[in-house]
Chain A
Amino acid sequence: MSCLKIYLGYAAGVGKTYRMLEEARALRDRGVDIVIGYFEPHGRKETIAKTEGLEVIPRRLLAYGGTQFEEMDTEAILRRKPAVAVVDEFAHTNIPGSERTKRWQDVRVLLEGGIDVLTTMNVQHLESLNDQVWHVTGVRVRETVPDWVIDEADEVVFVDLTPRALRNRLERGVVYPADKARRAMENFFTEGNLGALREMAMRHTAHEVEEKLTVPANRREERLLVCLTGRPTSANLIRRAKRVADYLQAGCLAVHVAADPGSREAAERHLTFARNLRIETHVLEGTDIAFAVTEFARAKAVTQIFMGRSAPPPWWKPFAETVVQQIVRQAQDMQVTIVAERRR
């Protein structure tokens, strides 16, 4: 199987692409057949200089909405079949009409084609950190990569630069043009944001290193069950449960109890989201949600149920038990975790 190596940074401008290209040059000097599959220059001179003398596979032109866009030409790379391909910006979303939606999916095609890949991404693109990044920075990152894709990488390397040095680079206009740099420093690239993102990237890289060290036999003594509803907070619930499951090396299942067809429909996108994160999903039918969930959890040997806070009872039944209260009462043989919504 081919080898995937990810250069992980915490913001634009820390030097991921530069480090990746340095490695590419070192490999070429050792006689490895290496090509640049995709490179995003961002007008950075020092980085562009590093591509000199490396073979570049031309990008593919695609028209969308009357404008020409350039994307990586995955098929051309496959035909060229180098030993190693350099692919910048792993989290990139392709223009509609491309064969695959995401660049990481293109990379998987290259890997399956027997080509090793070096790539770059920032920590904020990790699916499991999406809520945390939003909470810290106020930015909801749209381009995300499921964690399992990164878990499957053979190597994750953390590319570090101190926030002070990064802000200096912004000031000197190395990263962005002057006006864009100024706006960036006032908004996303504040010292507080950069520090928090950097810490996340360090901890996540440590987690990836540990993940690769753990013997699979030691895993799965715990099993988590996520209760999904049609409510928008379900996405936060799924990410949080998956993150906890990954760290505890626990199994993770998701269930939705469809009391009526409408509820099933509303929950469908959350079920799809869960499956994209490689969570096994189940749909049960019934009107007694708490009973159905608890029975299912017992049958599946679940140790911990994850759920969101229940809506308050209706005004005409102010003292009625909520679903959370019912499950807590019925599932006396399990732990129940009520996940916070973590608003900003």
Chain B
Amino acid sequence: MRTIDDRPDPEELLRRVQADETREKRGRLKVFLGYASRVGKSFRMFDEGRRRKERGQDVVVATVQGAVTADIQEILSRLEVAPTLPDGAIDLPALFRRHPSVCLIDGLAHENPPGSRNRERWQDVKELLDRGISVITAVNLQHIREKQDEVERITSKRAAHSVPQAFLAEAEEIEVVDAPPEALIGRVTQGSMPDPRILAELRELALLLAADVVDLQLREYVDAHGIAARWGTQERILVCLTPRSSAADMLRSGHRNALRFHGALLAAYVEQPGLRAEDEARLESHLALARELGAEVHCLKGEDFVESILHFAHDQRISQVFLGHSGRGASFGFKRNPVDRLIDAAEDFDIRLFPHGDGA
């Protein structure tokens, strides 16, 4: 649980400046992401290498993975291919000496033989980047560590080697190779036909993974350039919890909506002093349910319920707020009902009202 603070502190700013400086010296990483084998990501990677070389960049191929198709062979014949070590691992010291501006690395998820300098190839890539060599590489969805459970659920198979998703998020550029399943089926020459349904599910997963990476990079860009946060492209749902609200309805509905939108689910409550023991217990059980459903739970501090929610919703780029209401009617006199006040003030998010709760 954390409370919010929308201004970066000086240390955070210093950290950012330092990170920028490191990034300046570091090589740039570009990743081609495919959702299955043979969608053509290696071709796209080598083709980009060819075009860069034609534009005068110093390009070296560091690894070629698996069987090479005729069109890739044709591109390779025009590029410098660095020899690997006899066991197939990248010869890092030789590459450091050669020091090209761009290295092409196929099969990012490859595991190096025992006794190699690094256990995994993506760690080799890190070293190249640290030495100021840019890397273009290609990886399949099934090799992204955090996605392996989902891929296994879809395909009933699990790849032996993997790359952490955080490594992907570090890439300056990620490009999706989204060939539709039909084209893929046409290209498969041996083995069994992949099930179109499985391919479609993998495709969806790869697109959403890329969207999440892009979203993260976009947020960093927005932060770094001090641009006011706009309505995000991802649906972000905030369920407002109070002791008496119909929390189960709201949370279940929020959970289902977040799943359907592939969005985020947040739950927040505004701290109230002097809660009665039974209300305290109710709130606790709501929070437990929220956590069980995978919501990010926040405790908001603040004098005023409406102000706290408005501030938090803006800060978290919320697109829908779920709120309970008692239906006991309109505001009377000058003391307005919090639900009405929130409706009046909501500029960038929808408010979905759930009956039978106790409102705020």
Residues of A whose CB lies within 8 Å of any CB of B are 5, 23, 132, 135-136, 155, 157-162, 164-165, 191-192, 195-196, 198-200, 202-203, 205-206, 209-210, 212-213, 240, 247-249, 304, 309, 319, 321-322, 324-325, 328-329, 331-343
- Establish whether residues B347 and A343, one from each chain, have CB atoms under 8 Å apart when the complex forms: yes
A336: B residues at CB distance < 8 A:
352-353
Contact with A along B316-360 (1 / 0, CB 8 A): 000010000101011111000001100110111111111110000
Question: Complex Cα distance A324/B46, Å?
Answer: 59
Known: A136-B231, A213-B201, A331-B355. 5 other contacts (CB 8 A): A157-B179, A161-B175, A164-B173, A203-B233, A213-B197
B217: A residues at CB distance < 8 A:
195
Question: Complex Cα distance A88/B352, Å?
Answer: 41
How far does the Cβ of A268 sit from chain B's closest Cβ, in whole Å?
A: 25
24 A-B pairs within 8 Å (CB atoms) are namely A135-B230, A136-B231, A136-B233, A157-B180, A158-B207, A159-B178, A160-B178, A162-B173, A192-B222, A195-B214, A195-B221, A196-B218, A200-B233, A202-B208, A202-B210, A203-B207, A203-B208, A209-B204, A210-B204, A332-B356, A337-B353, A338-B350, A340-B351, A341-B347
Q: Given A202-B208, A213-B200, A309-B344, do A338 and B222 touch, yes or no (CB 8 Å)?
A: no
Within B180-219, the residues touching A (CB, 8 Å) are 180, 182-183, 197, 200-201, 203-204, 207-208, 210-211, 214-215, 217-218
Does B148 have its Cβ within 8 Å of any Cβ on chain A? no
- Establish whether residues B200 and A196, one from each chain, have CB atoms under 8 Å apart when the complex forms: no
- Establish whether residues B233 and A337, one from each chain, have CB atoms under 8 Å apart when the complex forms: no
Question: B235: nearest residue on chain A (CB-CB)?
Answer: A247
B331: A residues at CB distance < 8 A:
319
Does B225 have its Cβ within 8 Å of any Cβ on chain A? yes
Question: A5: nearest residue on chain B (CB-CB)?
Answer: B180
> How many pairs, one residue from A and one from B, have CB atoms within 8 Å of each other in the complex?
148
Q: Given A23-B183, A309-B344, A334-B355, do A329 and B329 touch, yes or no (CB 8 Å)?
A: yes
A337: B residues at CB distance < 8 A:
320, 350-353
Does B79 have its Cβ within 8 Å of any Cβ on chain A? no
- Establish whether residues B233 and A196, one from each chain, have CB atoms under 8 Å apart when the complex forms: yes
Those 3 A-B pairs whose CB atoms lie nearest each other, nearest first = A206-B207, A202-B211, A162-B173
- Establish whether residues A209 and B176, one from each chain, have CB atoms under 8 Å apart when the complex forms: no
A341: B residues at CB distance < 8 A:
347
Question: Complex Cα distance A171/B3, Å?
Answer: 44
- Establish whether residues A340 and B349, one from each chain, have CB atoms under 8 Å apart when the complex forms: yes
Does B234 have its Cβ within 8 Å of any Cβ on chain A? yes
Question: Complex Cα distance A220/B347, Å?
Answer: 30
Instruction: Indicate which residue in A23, A206, A212, A325 contacts B211 across the interface (CB closer than 8 Å).
Output: A206
Question: Complex Cα distance A136/B215, Å?
Answer: 13
Q: Given A206-B262, A248-B260, A340-B348, do A199 and B234 touch, yes or no (CB 8 Å)?
A: yes
How far does the Cβ of B300 sit from chain A's closest Cβ, in whole Å?
A: 20
Question: A203: nearest residue on chain B (CB-CB)?
Answer: B211
- Establish whether residues B343 and A309, one from each chain, have CB atoms under 8 Å apart when the complex forms: yes
B233: A residues at CB distance < 8 A:
132, 136, 196, 199-200, 203
Does B287 have its Cβ within 8 Å of any Cβ on chain A? no
Question: B356: nearest residue on chain A (CB-CB)?
Answer: A332
Question: Complex Cα distance A17/B158, Å?
Answer: 36
Q: Given A192-B221, A203-B211, A335-B354, do A155 and B174 touch, yes or no (CB 8 Å)?
A: no
- Establish whether residues A209 and B234, one from each chain, have CB atoms under 8 Å apart when the complex forms: no
A199: B residues at CB distance < 8 A:
211, 214-215, 218, 233-234
How far does the Cβ of A156 sit from chain B's closest Cβ, in whole Å?
A: 8
How far does the Cβ of A329 sit from chain B's closest Cβ, in whole Å?
A: 5
Instruction: Indicate which residue in A135, A164, A249, A329 contacts B260 across the interface (CB closer than 8 Å).
Output: A249
How far does the Cβ of A28 sit from chain B's closest Cβ, in whole Å?
A: 14
How far does the Cβ of A245 sit from chain B's closest Cβ, in whole Å?
A: 11
Q: Given A136-B231, A203-B233, A338-B353, do A160 and B177 touch, yes or no (CB 8 Å)?
A: yes
Question: Complex Cα distance A303/B339, Å?
Answer: 20
Instruction: Indicate which residue in A132, A160, A200, A339 contacts B350 across the interface (CB closer than 8 Å).
Output: A339
- Establish whether residues A335 and B352, one from each chain, have CB atoms under 8 Å apart when the complex forms: yes
Instruction: Indicate which residue in B234, B320, B355 contacts A332 across the interface (CB closer than 8 Å).
Output: B355
- Establish whether residues B329 and A319, one from each chain, have CB atoms under 8 Å apart when the complex forms: no
- Establish whether residues A212 and B173, one from each chain, have CB atoms under 8 Å apart when the complex forms: no
Contact with A along B227-239 (1 / 0, CB 8 A): 1001101110000
Question: B177: nearest residue on chain A (CB-CB)?
Answer: A160
How far does the Cβ of A274 sit from chain B's closest Cβ, in whole Å?
A: 18
Does B255 have its Cβ within 8 Å of any Cβ on chain A? no
How far does the Cβ of A250 sit from chain B's closest Cβ, in whole Å?
A: 10
- Establish whether residues B350 and A332, one from each chain, have CB atoms under 8 Å apart when the complex forms: no
Does B121 have its Cβ within 8 Å of any Cβ on chain A? no
Question: Complex Cα distance A204/B114, Å?
Answer: 43
- Establish whether residues B355 and A333, one from each chain, have CB atoms under 8 Å apart when the complex forms: yes
Question: Complex Cα distance A264/B140, Å?
Answer: 55
Does B308 have its Cβ within 8 Å of any Cβ on chain A? no
B200: A residues at CB distance < 8 A:
209, 212-213
B150: A residues at CB distance < 8 A:
none
Question: Complex Cα distance A328/B342, Å?
Answer: 14
How far does the Cβ of A142 sit from chain B's closest Cβ, in whole Å?
A: 20
